[in-house]
Amino acid sequence: MFRRRDHAVVHRFAAACRVGSSAAIRSLLAAEVVAVSDGGGRVPAALEPVRGPAQVVRCLTALLRPDLALTVEAVNGQPGVVLRDTGRPAGPVVAVLSLRVTGAKVTDVWIVLNPDKLRHWRTGE
């Protein structure tokens, strides 16, 4: 269950991603952070878990583009980060990030890029 402090960490994480600040993102990651991405073989994604702050920051910043809008929304009942392509009509969702927060740090990042799994987000169902 997320606590109020966890919500604040997710919002700071989203803000750091929004401005593309590697240093700010890194400051929110635990030393043992792990990121797992799912492209479903349809979009580029890391095939193995990405471990450590420097590598996770590289993974995250590779996703970020100026034409993406980042919002904090409920993802599986918890606050997460949703990336929408504002350069296309209706701003389709291109990625959804779920975060595990321990203390004041992000310890796990799950990145869904698989278009089939994002269909629900695209239609708003």
Its pTM stands at 0.89
18-36 pLDDT tens trace: 999 999 999 999 999 999 9
Percentage above 70 pLDDT, the chain: 94
- Average pLDDT, rounded, for the chain: 90
**Left, alpha or beta for 9 (phi > 0: left; psi -120 to 50: alpha)?**
alpha
CATH number, residue 114: 3.10.450.50
Count of structural domains, the chain: 1
User: Alpha-carbon distance 33 to 65, whole Å?
Assistant: 23
At 87 the three-state DSSP class reads coil
Domain extent at residue 73: 4-123
Query: Could you give the CA distance from residue 92 to residue 63 in angstroms, rounded to a whole number?
Result: 15
